[in-house]
Structures are given as structure tokens and as C-alpha cells.
Structure 1
Amino acid sequence: MVSARVIDDKVDVARSIVNQNRPVDVDVDVDGRCAMYREKGWERFNENSPDLTQAEIAREGQ
């Protein structure tokens, strides 16, 4: 999951960058993934949260 705060006139550029580098995996069970995040305590985007480590990113993809 990617979240970005982008100014209005750069939205198309941001979308293009994401789509060129790692398109959305349409096989992901979005509802299931959301439920898993909520079970782990996720409630909403927190801009003050630290970035995930490479190990955390790898675990999320499993």
C-alpha cells in the first residue's frame, strides 16, 4: 500500500511514477489486507510514524 500527500498539480505525475515502478498487484485481497492491518491496531494514516524498515516491507509482501 502506498500513501502520498501530493499537491494537486502533481497528482498525475505521482500516479505515473507509481504505475511505472511497481503497478498495483490486482491479486491482492484488499479487504483481507485491510482487516489484517486493523487487527494489528492500524486505524488511520499517521504522518508521524517512522518509515518501515526493509525487513518490515518484505514481511508485508508475504
Structure 2
Amino acid sequence: MPTYEFRCHECAVTFDVQRPTSASSDPAICPDGHPNQSASPEFNASVASQRTLRMSG
């Protein structure tokens, strides 16, 4: 299952969520307890590349 990076709009913390591709853009709950509408997906190519390398190697 893919891992997606999210950023909370309230506290700016970045966190990872594993979920199916079909749910990739669904909101996520901040680990600090902020409401699920306060976090949105982020894409960071370098993080995605590192994850791909770790998974394949």
C-alpha cells in the first residue's frame, strides 16, 4: 500500500499515511489531534524517491 505525505494546516507538522491509491487525496487526521479537514496531501519528489529506493532495495 502506498505511503502519502500530509501537512497539517494548523500546526504545519508533516506526517505519513498509508492508504490505497483511490484514497490518496482524502483528508487525514493530524497526529497532534487537529481535525481531519486540516491536513492535505503534499508531494515531495525526493521523499517519494527515497521511499521507492527503500522499498526496492
TM-score (ref. length: structure 2): 0.30
Q: Determine which structure has the larger helix proportion and give its number.
A: 1
Which protein has the larger Cα radius of gyration, Structure 1 or Structure 2? 1
Structure having the higher strand fraction is 2
TM (normalized to structure 1)? 0.28
Structure number with higher relative contact order (C-alpha < 8 Å, ≥ 6 residues apart): 2
